[in-house]
Structure 1
Amino acid sequence: MSHTVLAINPGSTSTKIAIYDGEELRFEEEMRHSFDELKKFETILDQLDFRKEAIVERLEQTGFKLAELDAVVGRGGLLRPLKGGTYEVTKKMVNDLKIGVSGQHASNLGGLIAKDLSTPLGIKAYIVDPVVVDELIPTSRISGHAAYERISIFHALNHKATARKVAKQLGKTYEESRFVIAHLGGGISVAAHLGGEAIDVNNALGGEGPFSPERSGTLPMSAFLEACFEPGASKAEMQKQLVGEGGIISYFGTNDMREIERRIEAGDAEAALVFDAMAIQVSKEIAAVSVYFKGNFDGIILTGGLARSQAFTDKVTELVSWIGRVILSPGEDELKALNEGTQRILAKVEQAKEY
């Protein structure tokens, strides 16, 4: 039986939506929101009605009737740590998304919009594999100082969807598979996946792991600590050095890796140096988490937008192929992943988890 699902993925300046009938895509659109449209809202939560109304208006323009829906799914936001899976949006979840229990981000609006649209229709609202998926084993939580525990914030939605896709190609289930997965995008996260869980992963928002197009990754702590106490330094400014203005942006003022590759082709030695350094750091992280498998695993998966760069994936493959086979699964389709998680619930292949 085919179920009709509306998937919603709010970003900082856009809202992506799609209608699926089973696995078949009926309609997809990215609605851009200008600076002038968003600047009148003091907080992300204040954007809720604006974004919801934009979705309803656009669907009405296509002739789609909300009554056709069997479920609505939104991108999961910064909730409390939880296991991977599909979760029904409950009153408790709505409250945590509204207060920003783990921080404010546009993705927090996904579950809220889904709930607001689903309630009048008498159907369920869901989220799937939010960034706060935490499946770390006890040793992965040890940081090296008793005052600080490592936490899990990563690109869980794409990690899990890609793992299921590749496992199926190999004739296995995700739970039967053993993967190292590197999501390569604006942020980079590298995880060891064992038994259907990400047992170790760098915190992609917390100054860990490889640097990326816009994040600094692991920095020299002594130098960073000194900078924190320089005159005029603020927590907000230092946070931007970690996320938003770190990585490639800090070196070249752009997060566009295509521009970096053009500079390399034009003979820019510094661009080539930093490009190679990022590939090396990704490869070192892959090598680090591969220790869990002792050589017995199904492969190293490179995914995310940067996995479309042959120059980058060639470099990483050259450095890590001695550890295990490298499997390319470029790009990320978050709306598709949201739908797949919801379809598994509607088809009763899985049960929705309780937040």
Structure 2
Amino acid sequence: MDMRALGIDPGTGTFDLAVVDGERVVYEDSLPAAVVAEDPERLVRAIEASRADVIAAPSGYGVPFTWASDVRDPLRFTYEVLLLSTREQVAKASGELGVKVYEALALVVSQLVKADVRAVFVPSVILLRTVPAYRKYNKVDMGTADKLASALIAVHGLARRKGVRPSEVSAVVLELGFGYNSAISVLRGRVVDGIGGTYASFGPLTAGSLDLEVVVGAPFWSRFDVYKGGLAEVCGTYDLREAERRYEAGEEPCASAYRAWLEGVLKDVARASVPIGREVDTVVLNGRYSGLRSLREALREAMPDIEVVEGSRLPGSSVTKEASQGYAAMAAHAAGGGEGLLEEVMRVADIDSACGTVADYVVHPAAVPLRERVRRAYVESVARPKLCP
């Protein structure tokens, strides 16, 4: 059956929209995040122009498949479940990087919930039953919804390229975005682990994984400090390509900061390889900065026996990245309209079994209130919550 499925990837740098029909991109658009933040109606108009039959809505940190018609309180659902924030936190942080994007997302989600459209919110890595519980303790971000979407497109691309079934694909999928990195572990077509942006090493914007002594030593943390403390603080630029140029020219201190980012990515790949074991034979590079020459060279030098390839987007794509296309594929699957090899990827990945909230495995006593707040918000803002057994 023909089904136009729209995926919306709310990236830190751009909002990408891709409509997938079957296994081909038939419509796409890309809006600067700053433009969407200032004028959310631009995104609404782009959604309308897509003429989609089903929409994968921006899903932030992820939820089990949830249809917009089941969302009772769209603002609470967006802020507390999808964005792990509160309206009060966002209001207090006026002027911070990302605040207007959060507000724009809340507005768009509210409109999708109120409108007579088929829109679905999709899972992230930590919600998958294919990821063992013992890998989830004290983690929230093992790969947000967009990172999972990107990984699924990577599996599709590898299966097509190698002429194998999705169940025969084992790889580490690196997503190199404007603000964050992630490394997703895929074993026989299933995601079994993930290192998400705020847990990964030193990032372009984010500090990434922090020494707990830094955490307890700082007198105050803002919700939006997750956007700070990374390479941009040292280099004074948000452009990773410019940072690479300074690294190659030996311009300090940016050269050392870029080296920290580069080595951190290598360490994340090494960590993500552990759950796959000897079956890992490929590293897939996805995202805005997947073409960096220095990264490719470093990976090939550090892992000479593993093939390093750039991710392949769906046919018909020229503007959007992998994440929006993966979002669209998940929407088509949820609506029963997926087709071909792409639908097989969704079935093998067992994304339908996703359950619970992203904070369910937080056990640190100081963070238990976070776990309880997120779980309560999910149960109270959704008509049919899907908690884990």
Q: Name the TM-score class by shorter chain.
A: 0.7 to 0.9
Are 1:287 and 2:266 counterparts? no
- Judging by fraction of residues, say which structure has more strand: 1
Match for residue 261 of structure 2?
A: 278
Unaligned runs of 5+ residues in structure 2 are: 86-101, 314-320, 354-385
Match for residue 178 of structure 1?
A: 170
Match for residue 216 of structure 2?
A: 225
Identify the match of residue 334 of structure 1 among 305, 323, 346: 323
* SS of residue in 2 equivalent to 1:126: strand
Q: Could you say if the C-alpha distance between residues 8 and 178 of structure 1 is closer, same or farther in structure 2, counting changes exceeding 3 Å?
A: closer
Match for residue 29 of structure 1?
A: 29
- In the alignment of these two chains, the number of paired residues is 313
Give 1:16 shift: 4.1
Query: Following the alignment from structure 1 to structure 2, what is the Cα–Cα distance between the partners of residues 32 and 292?
Result: 36
Give 1:99 shift: 4.9
Identify the match of residue 126 of structure 1 among 120, 128, 133: 120
The letter of the residue matching 2:54 is A
Match for residue 204 of structure 1?
A: 197
Match for residue 46 of structure 1?
A: none
Q: What TM-score do the two structures reach when normalised by structure 2?
A: 0.67
Deviations, residues 264-295 of structure 1 (Å, cap 9, x unaligned): 34441433332222222211222223222332
Q: Could you say if the C-alpha distance between residues 126 and 216 of structure 1 is closer, same or farther in structure 2, counting changes exceeding 3 Å?
A: same
Q: Could you say if the C-alpha distance between residues 133 and 93 of structure 1 is closer, same or farther in structure 2, counting changes exceeding 3 Å?
A: farther
Query: Following the alignment from structure 1 to structure 2, what is the Cα–Cα distance between the partners of residues 108 and 187?
Result: 21
Query: Following the alignment from structure 2 to structure 1, what is the Cα–Cα distance between the partners of residues 73 and 61?
Result: 11
* SS of residue in 2 equivalent to 1:8: strand
Query: Following the alignment from structure 1 to structure 2, what is the Cα–Cα distance between the partners of residues 261 and 209?
Result: 19
Deviations, residues 11-34 of structure 1 (Å, cap 9, x unaligned): 568654444544444443334576
* SS of residue in 1 equivalent to 2:279: coil
Match for residue 8 of structure 1?
A: 8
Deviations, residues 217-243 of structure 1 (Å, cap 9, x unaligned): 2233324422x1xxxx32218x61xx2
Give 1:326 shift: 2.3
Query: Following the alignment from structure 2 to structure 1, what is the Cα–Cα distance between the partners of residues 200 and 47?
Result: 41
Query: Following the alignment from structure 1 to structure 2, what is the Cα–Cα distance between the partners of residues 159 and 9?
Result: 13
The letter of the residue matching 2:30 is E
Query: Following the alignment from structure 1 to structure 2, what is the Cα–Cα distance between the partners of residues 160 and 108?
Result: 26
Identify the match of residue 321 of structure 1 among 290, 301, 304: 304
Identify the match of residue 305 of structure 1 among 288, 307, 315: 288
Give 1:157 shift: 1.6
Larger CA deviation: 299-308 vs 268-277: 268-277
Q: Could you say if the C-alpha distance between residues 107 and 342 of structure 1 is closer, same or farther in structure 2, counting changes exceeding 3 Å?
A: same
Unaligned runs of 5+ residues in structure 1 are: 40-49, 143-148
Query: Following the alignment from structure 1 to structure 2, what is the Cα–Cα distance between the partners of residues 200 and 92?
Result: 29
C-alpha contact 1:78 1:100 (8 A) present in aligned 2: no
* SS of residue in 2 equivalent to 1:305: coil
The letter of the residue matching 1:248 is L
Query: Following the alignment from structure 1 to structure 2, what is the Cα–Cα distance between the partners of residues 56 and 292?
Result: 41
Deviations, residues 97-143 of structure 1 (Å, cap 9, x unaligned): 345225244556665544444x2xxx63223444764453133134x
Query: Following the alignment from structure 1 to structure 2, what is the Cα–Cα distance between the partners of residues 310 and 110?
Result: 37
Q: Could you say if the C-alpha distance between residues 2 and 219 of structure 1 is closer, same or farther in structure 2, counting changes exceeding 3 Å?
A: same
Match for residue 150 of structure 2?
A: 158
Query: Following the alignment from structure 1 to structure 2, what is the Cα–Cα distance between the partners of residues 19 and 283?
Result: 33
